[in-house]
Amino acid sequence: MESHAFYLDLCLQCAWREQLQTLPNPAVAALVLDKWGAILSIEAHKESGKPHAEVLALQKAYAKLSGDSAILSLQEPHAIHRYLLQFAIPYFKDSIIYITLEPCASAKCGKTPSCATLLKALCPKCVVIGAQDPNKNAKGGAQELIEAGISVIKAWEIESLRTIHDKAIALLEPFRLLQENGRVVVFKYASRLDGSIDGGQISTRVTQSLMHNYRTKADVLLISGKSVREDNPTLDTRFATLRHRNPNVVILTRQVDFPRTAPLFAIPNRRVDIVNTLPPLRGFVFCEGGAGLLASMQDEIDILLVMLNASFNSGAKLTMRLQREFQLLHSMQSNDDILLWLMPKRYCKCENN
């Protein structure tokens, strides 16, 4: 079982790199081993409406096993499914497939076809799954595979895989919150190693591009009036690698007659609301701000994303004054930044699963 935990952990590391960018879908990754135990592929779901992780991993694995690279030119989910069903069935009977999340069942109705249906047709030797699907409209894929005669290892049923199952649950937290509450509020907080947050741009351009990707997926970008006055921001998605979509903006401020002079007001095709009290929040809400906004928003935050840059600033002041406990869901490196995904301990389900 140690090898199963190892390969699932590789999948989880891969999936976390796509976190939030797949919303309203969950972040998921899959890995395919050949009959000798060599890794053929490891892939993650990229965006809602695009191929699921299992499909991408099988696509690349099939190209390696068969030498048929024509499949790699396909990008549309249904086209990849059809190609695999037509040509790939003999190639995976000795393979083991690892997936962070239960494959979507054949009864699922969505933008992409069922992964359980595809796996049943390809009939791998074994499928190892990190977590059950919390979506009632997609769950049940594991049982379908079992009924089709495929060996299925469920991490939640194996004591030695309990830790990796907990990690798989942690990966799903943004998706779960959105499903259960109709919203997920993520607060991005950037600082240097000494805790300083002033003195100009903190994060690297690589991380900045990632944050702009998150903006493209946000229903609302929430920022404080103080940040707008001091930083004069644009709040667009110019550094995003995903399709550039500028989210609606909510500016939270006590100031009456807030000036509309910042560049953010000139960005087309979005709404900018100026509010004195926090409105009801729905969908994916991405908050960007400093210590003041973080303190005022602390009871609304579902996920705190702390970005620590590998630097110090002797001329800056330490400004964070927050009394709060969080659970670390995940940590990852982005260039010279460390990203810490934190969840308030008040309702973190993953710690007891």
Domains of the chain and CATH, by start: 2-178 (3.40.140.10), 184-352 (3.40.430.10)
CA 213 vs CA 24, 49, 149, 224: distances in Å: 14, 16, 41, 21
- Rounded Cα–Cα distance for residues 262 and 294 (Å): 22
- Rounded Cα–Cα distance for residues 283 and 292 (Å): 23
Please give the pLDDT value at position 353: 38
Beta pairing class for 220-224 and 183-192: unpaired
Please give the pLDDT value at position 154: 96
Please give the pLDDT value at position 168: 97
Please give the pLDDT value at position 198: 76
Bridge partner list, 101: 131
Q: What is the pTM assigned to this prediction?
A: 0.93
Assign 32 to helix, strand or coil.
Answer: strand
Please give the pLDDT value at position 289: 86
CA 119 vs CA 47, 54, 154, 308, 328: distances in Å: 21, 9, 16, 41, 34
Cβ atoms of 26 and 132 within 8 Å: the answer is no
Q: Which residue has the tokens 């499903």?
A: 179
Q: Which residue has the tokens 């908050």?
A: 287
Tokens for 231, please give them: 């930083």
- Rounded Cα–Cα distance for residues 311 and 352 (Å): 35
Give pLDDT tens digits along the chain (353 positions). Answer: 679 999 999 999 999 999 999 999 999 999 999 999 999 999 999 999 999 999 999 999 999 999 999 999 999 999 999 999 999 999 999 999 999 999 998 876 577 889 999 999 999 999 999 999 888 777 889 999 999 999 999 999 999 999 999 999 999 999 999 999 999 999 999 988 888 887 678 899 999 999 999 999 999 999 999 999 988 999 999 999 998 899 999 999 999 899 999 999 999 989 999 999 998 999 999 999 888 898 888 889 999 999 999 888 877 665 666 677 899 999 999 989 999 999 998 654 444 33
Please give the pLDDT value at position 135: 80
DSSP letters of 173-218? HHHHHHHHHSEEEEEEEEEETTSB--SS--S-HHHHHHHHHHHHH-
**Measuring CA to CA, which residue among 49, 44, 63, 65 is closest to residue 130?**
44
Please give the pLDDT value at position 1: 66
Please give the pLDDT value at position 247: 94
